[in-house]
Amino acid sequence: MSSSSLSSRFCFNSECFEFRLDHNRPGWRLRTGDFADLCDRCASVYDQGKFCDVFHIKASGWRCCESCGKRIHCGCIVSASSFMLLDAGGIECLACARKKSCFGTQFFAITVLSFPISNF
């Protein structure tokens, strides 16, 4: 049995050594365009949006949302679609980014004008 066929029978999660059964459950999109094949346990954690919270808790690349403070793992492809990069640096979780986009440019103008102008 080749190593590629053997590895394709295991869950894609490098911290999991469970065999996938006859069916695979798709996870995140890989750079190749394919989806990571996960076992039921890892797929369930991924579907709940907690994959990095469970499997990457000690990994580097964690940042906090500039708006709400939620911790987001920015160090892997799994969570690449769960945050927005901010122009001035930092990140924002999708929930906060969506809230701001609902307000459009009026929100930005109100926010900027509501800050007191400091004396230089």
Please state the domain extents for the chain.
Answer: 1-55, 59-120
The mean per-residue pLDDT over the stretch 52-70 comes to 93
The answer to whether the pTM exceeds 0.85 is no
Buried/exposed 50-60: b ≥16 CB within 10 Å, e otherwise: ebbeebbeeee
Note whether 52 and 73 are within 8 A (CB): yes
Query: Which residues are paired to 32 by β-bridges?
Result: none
Q: Is the pLDDT of residue 114 over 50?
A: no
* pLDDT attached to residue 68: 96
Which one-letter amino acid corresponds to residue 37? D
